[in-house]
Amino acid sequence: METEAQRLKAAFHYTAARLCEEVAEDKGICFSRQAIAAVSEITFRQCEIFARDLEMFAKHGKRSTVNVEDVKLLARRSNSLLKHITQKSDELSLNNLEQKEKKKKKSAAKKGRRNSNEHEEPVAIVNEDSNMA
């Protein structure tokens, strides 16, 4: 019998191993199995903290949905991380805008034929207001 947490932990562990492999290739070092396990465990526990904080921030903004602003507030303490996340969120919002325009064009044109080269990236957060408050 496998619980949800165990499955999540296994997924974390797999991803951590992949990322550690990348770093190992990049830096020319080797990760022991215990090190990878420790990294995945740390990540798992850190995610609990992140989840709690994000929930608090959303509640503080009188929302029930976590949005990009909350994530930025979470990463506010470290400058480089904030810069990185801001850049990523800008990319995401641009992507969203492009997709919306495509949809608009499609709905405007109302052509019967389907676009075969459609590759929609899974976007976790749909950012409605991308303008910075």
Residues that bind other proteins in the complex, under the rule CB under 8 A: 53, 56-57, 60-62, 69-70, 73, 76, 133
Q: How far is the CB of 67 from other proteins (least distance, A)?
A: 11
Identify which of residues 19 and 73 has a Cβ nearer to other proteins in the complex: 73
Angstrom distance (rounded) from CA 56 to CA 52: 6
Angstrom distance (rounded) from CA 54 to CA 66: 7
Identify which of residues 41 and 53 has a Cβ nearer to other proteins in the complex: 53
Taking the CB of residue 113, how many other CB atoms lie within 10 A of it?
A: 5
Q: How far is the CB of 55 from other proteins (least distance, A)?
A: 11
Identify which of residues 77 and 113 has a Cβ nearer to other proteins in the complex: 77
Identify which of residues 52 and 102 has a Cβ nearer to other proteins in the complex: 52
Taking the CB of residue 36, how many other CB atoms lie within 10 A of it?
A: 19
On whether the CB atoms of residues 127 and 93 are closer than 8 A, the answer is yes
Angstrom distance (rounded) from CA 127 to CA 69: 10
